Structure 1
Amino acid sequence: MSSAATPGPASVSGSLCLTLITLILPIPGISATVQVSTPPVVEAELEKPISIPCVPEISTPSRMRYIQWFVMEKNNRQRIYFQDGKSSTIDNDTDYTDRITVDKNYTLTIDHVKLGDERTFLCQVGAGPAGSGEATTELKVYDAPEMPEIFRTDTSISVMKKSPAEIATCRSRNGYPAPIITWYKDRTPLQAASKANDKMYIVPQTTQEPSGLYTISSTLYYLPEKKDKDSKFYCEVSYRMPQREDKMKESDRISVSITYPTENVEFLIQPSVLKETDTMMMECKSDGSSSVVYTFYRVLDGMNEEEVLDGTDNTMEINGVNRMDSGVYGCKVLDFDVPDEFYSNQTVKINYLDPIALIPEGPYNFTEGDRNVKVYCNAQGSQQTSVVWTKHKKTVVSSTNGLRLPVVTFDDSGNYSCNVTIPSVPHLTRQRVISIIVEGPPQVNCTEKTFHKNGPHVNLTCVFKGFPASEVTCNVKKAPIIRHHPQNNYIVVSELILPLTMKVLSVTCNGTNVHGSNAHSFTVHRELMGVPTTGHPTPDVSHSRSSGGVVIVVIIVCILLLAILGAVLYFLYKKGKIPCGRSGKQDISRPDAHDNIVVEVKNDQKVPEETVLLQGVNGEKKLASDQ
């Protein structure tokens, strides 16, 4: 007889049915039974504790007499525990003497489960006149295996082989029961057979260690293809743990050395754009992985012949190429796994740019005033050139091959650079510098400036342009200070500082070179600059003509502003906006009287400008009639 049972703390597997054994004792007038239930199967993890419940059911009230736990040794029972009333005994000299306990509910607990515990346990309950009953439980033991290890073959595998080759071996140790190994390629499981064939198979092996645990291994044999050169192989070990929990562990991923023959050859040249003096690098690439021999060659011009070049493995370089190195270059590959040779080549063009030619060649000496002067610059090259003329290395003066000066001036003197490039070829450029000299008689531009330093002085400065550089003299005893321009050798600056001790100062400075001369005369009037003609001027009286003119302009502007102000006040007065009597007097004792004061100036009175301005602005002076 069987019935459903509620498992205790132990893990239960298999059917939920519980084994029931019923013993009916024929007692006159009474039909009493004892039923015992235990889980059919209990799963335990190695070295962990496990509990097996035992639940008795007695049909009539009866006092319990005893309970016993047995283990099955083949077809024999071996008792490991006995309890009668309040006394209990763990049997000696058994595998469980030191590892079991039984609680008040008759549940058996086993500590440190071993592989030898995978056997049948029996619980028996006796109830006196009601008889006795018993039930059995199968204990299953599990242990997780170690991480799988993978060992790949040390030799390369050719895709030219006709049968599968050994790829790798996977091994996992100390599992229980024996786990299962599955092979993968790029996360795709390999459905490998265990028998040899012409595509793929595995050779499994299982070994039980002295401990009773299992070590399993699996060797994969596989016929690779070229597409497998980047594939990753690995293995997975799957196993079961208590509670019907399926788990797995993965090995490391490995690559397999696969050799395959050449199918295509690529010939590369660096840099992609070459010019004279460059180093040309050549490289030959084969898409195969088997052993090959590389040969570099050049096709001779006008001949269907090849000149073999010395290379190193699959590379070669030619230093300092020139235009004569242009031509067809290539490489060929000999693969011992296939009968054919493979070729690839390119046409190489070495770019060049010849030295610059100038028309006319020079020297470039011109006279100030010359017209329509032209200098042409050009260079022959392997491709279309670009020409730019610059002055002083930065100012672009022409973007064509012709430098044109419509009218030559001294400012056209200097160094000019002709730069010729091939735009499509980086760093291929030529440069040539010419010096243009403009000759002519001096041109003069002078300025005068007065100042006061321990008395009035005047600074007379002249700039002479001419080539050769002008020699400057002035008709005074003091020699001028001469400065030559740091960049333009045709410019000379003359500076002469003189005291103003005379009423009229007249000075003439003359610049002369081989082509002529030019002079400038200065006339400085002492009194026009506010400087007394006799005595010594005070330090705050020195004025130049330009500063006196500024004062006069300021006075005129002030007079105009005052006239406009008077017109506005008169207009307001006529409109009645200003409450003034005809006498023109106001009571200035009121706080706002100052804002409405009008200044009246008669024609026969001479009022200084400063007085009028102060009255108009401040409104604090009284009229003559009010004083």
Structure 2
Amino acid sequence: MRGKSATLNCTALGTHDHFALEWFLADRSGARHRLASAELQGSELQVRMHDSRGRSPPYQLDSQGRLVLADAQVGDERDYVCVVQAGAADTAEATTQLRVFAKPEATEVSPNKGILSVMDDSAQEIATCNSPNGNPAPQITWYRNGQLLEVPLEVNSEGYMTTRTVREASGLLSLTSTLYLRLRKADRDASFHCSVRHRLPAGRQGRLDSPVFRLTLHYPTEHVQFWVGSPATTEGWVREGDSVQLFCRGDGSPSPEYTFFRLQAEQEDVLKTDLQGNLTLEGVQRAQSGTYGCRVEDYDAAEDAELSQTLELRVAYLDPLELSTGEELLVFLNSSAAVNCSVQGLPTPALRWTKDSIPLGDGPTLSLSKITFDSAGTYLCEASMPRVPLLSRTRSFKLLVQEPPGNWSCQRTSSLDP
């Protein structure tokens, strides 16, 4: 690895009392330059350095005649020849080809920051991936949603990539790859990244991935959704007096312009135009019930795209209750009475009569017969709308019970005559 020491072995085969070895550097022309020599004298190897060819730190021979390159750099990638002579005619040589590996720096990716149109029928520049200062030159691959992109180097309309290798002043290699793709609407949520595979000693490999990035796409609207938000009920009713929100969303990008309108007598009454697709009706009233619409203004959309949607806004209301009697009703003992409770509302409200929280019956009319003194008390008429929660009203009256007129005469007479 770059920056580490490299040691090149050179040993004579067999057993010899005397041998000499020389290390040479072979240049690209084939010429050899002697770097060092050593001679075995007795049991000790006598080492001599000749020419380090300007290398810093200089070449060294260890006690076993091995050539040592401290702080190995890419420039040390050369052919080194060791010549061994044992005896008068026994000479052999071997060549070592040194390779210095350098792990590239962190992978850099530069996505296209513009708005890319899916309507373009040719491949567009997606991103550039850069792997700086490695050795040997690494390999760059591209991924979409974690899946390898099989893109060729030949230019075509569907997708390809280009690569460029630069040798830096340090001798290290920087590789740049640019990806081109023809985009589809499905790519609006796609994640992309590039991966750098670099070689390591002993046949191993390393991998450096770039950060994930996404693209900003332009694609026309195909569908529009229009709905009533809270506080609408599950059946689409809203309560009179509430603030009602209407939401409109098109599936185009960038966000198109939205026009809200109300249909009255087959005419469009424009209410609002904005880019958010939200319309708020404050304190909605029953007269605002009707047909509302939303239209997406997208001039790139296909001719058959439905860019407009309508809905029915139904405002539920409940007017105050009216009783056929006043706040008090005086009746005679053992008599009968009927009280009507009337109401106006939409949807049709349900009426229920109670006394002291005890249900007496459903419907607008309360019928009382054979009235006793126990019948006296407060009667409550309650109007509610099961389909519209929290919308209800009540009205009550007090029932007074007294003796019939004949009993009054007896009492009165008896009370007037002493």
TM-score by length of 1: 0.58
Residue 107 (structure 2) pairs with residue 143 (structure 1) = no
Name the structure 1 match of 2:24: 70
Where does 1:149-160 land on structure 2 (aligned, <5 Å)?
149-160=108-119
> CA–CA distance in 2 between the matches of 1:332 and 1:57?
90
Contact 1:101 1:110 in 2 (8 A): no
Letter of the aligned partner of 2:124 in structure 1? A
Where does 1:612-623 land on structure 2 (aligned, <5 Å)?
none
Pairing partner for 2:382 from 415, 419, 434: 419
Query: Deviation at 1:210?
Result: 0.6
Name the structure 2 match of 1:567: none
**Deviation string, structure 1 residues 465-495 (Cα, Å, up to 9, x no partner):** xxxxxxxxxxxxxxxxxxxxxxxxxxxxxxx
> CA–CA distance in 2 between the matches of 1:91 and 1:191?
53
Letter of the aligned partner of 2:10 in structure 1? C
Moved more, 398-407 or 331-340: 398-407
State the secondary structure of the residue aligned to 1:48: coil
Change in CA separation of 1:306 and 1:131 when aligned onto 2, cut-off 3 Å: closer
Query: Deviation at 1:425?
Result: 1.2
Pairing partner for 1:391 from 325, 350, 355: 355
Query: Deviation at 1:125?
Result: 2.4
Name the structure 2 match of 1:336: 299
> CA–CA distance in 1 between the matches of 2:413 and 2:244?
59
Contact 1:235 1:250 in 2 (8 A): yes
Residue 2 (structure 2) pairs with residue 46 (structure 1) = yes
Where does 1:171-570 land on structure 2 (aligned, <5 Å)?
171-270=130-229, 271=232, 272-290=236-254, 292-300=256-264, 303-313=265-275, 314-338=277-301, 340=303, 342-361=307-326, 363-367=328-332, 369-392=333-356, 394-439=357-402
State the secondary structure of the residue aligned to 1:181: strand
Contact 2:126 2:180 in 1 (8 A): yes
> CA–CA distance in 2 between the matches of 1:118 and 1:70?
14
Pairing partner for 1:102 from 51, 62, 84: 62
Moved more, 135-144 or 91-100: 91-100
Query: Deviation at 1:183?
Result: 1.4
Change in CA separation of 1:356 and 1:103 when aligned onto 2, cut-off 3 Å: same
Change in CA separation of 1:97 and 1:142 when aligned onto 2, cut-off 3 Å: closer
> CA–CA distance in 1 between the matches of 2:255 and 2:345?
44
Name the structure 2 match of 1:56: 12
Contact 1:184 1:234 in 2 (8 A): yes
Letter of the aligned partner of 2:191 in structure 1? K
> CA–CA distance in 2 between the matches of 1:398 and 1:516?
42
State the secondary structure of the residue aligned to 1:207: strand
Contact 2:105 2:132 in 1 (8 A): yes
> CA–CA distance in 2 between the matches of 1:87 and 1:260?
77
> CA–CA distance in 2 between the matches of 1:192 and 1:415?
85
> CA–CA distance in 2 between the matches of 1:415 and 1:92?
123
Query: Deviation at 1:178?
Result: 1.1
Contact 2:21 2:82 in 1 (8 A): yes
> CA–CA distance in 2 between the matches of 1:515 and 1:283?
77
Query: Deviation at 1:374?
Result: 3.1
Q: Which runs of 5+ in 2 are unaligned?
A: 405-410
Query: Deviation at 1:345?
Result: 0.6
Letter of the aligned partner of 1:197 in structure 2? N
Query: Deviation at 1:404?
Result: 4.0
Query: Deviation at 1:356?
Result: 1.5
> CA–CA distance in 2 between the matches of 1:93 and 1:323?
102
> CA–CA distance in 2 between the matches of 1:163 and 1:330?
37
> CA–CA distance in 2 between the matches of 1:78 and 1:217?
39
Query: Deviation at 1:151?
Result: 0.8
Letter of the aligned partner of 2:185 in structure 1? K
**Deviation string, structure 1 residues 168-217 (Cα, Å, up to 9, x no partner):** 11111110011111111112222223333222222222111110001111
**Deviation string, structure 1 residues 202-241 (Cα, Å, up to 9, x no partner):** 2222111110001111111222111111111111111111
Where does 1:565-580 land on structure 2 (aligned, <5 Å)?
none
Contact 2:58 2:69 in 1 (8 A): no
Contact 1:373 1:407 in 2 (8 A): no
TM-score by length of 2: 0.85
> CA–CA distance in 1 between the matches of 2:352 and 2:57?
107
State the secondary structure of the residue aligned to 1:229: helix
Contact 2:317 2:346 in 1 (8 A): yes
State the secondary structure of the residue aligned to 1:321: coil
Contact 2:320 2:343 in 1 (8 A): yes
Asked which structure has the greater CA Rg, the reply is 1
Aligned length: 395
Query: Deviation at 1:282?
Result: 1.7
Query: Deviation at 1:77?
Result: 3.0
Contact 1:291 1:336 in 2 (8 A): no
Pairing partner for 2:40 from 69, 84, 96: 84
Contact 2:37 2:48 in 1 (8 A): yes
Change in CA separation of 1:111 and 1:381 when aligned onto 2, cut-off 3 Å: same
Query: Deviation at 1:361?
Result: 4.1
Change in CA separation of 1:265 and 1:122 when aligned onto 2, cut-off 3 Å: same
Change in CA separation of 1:311 and 1:126 when aligned onto 2, cut-off 3 Å: closer
> CA–CA distance in 1 between the matches of 2:97 and 2:342?
105
Q: Percent identity?
A: 32
> CA–CA distance in 2 between the matches of 1:76 and 1:108?
16
Contact 1:72 1:122 in 2 (8 A): yes
**Structure with bigger RCO (C-alpha 8 Å, 6+ apart):** 2
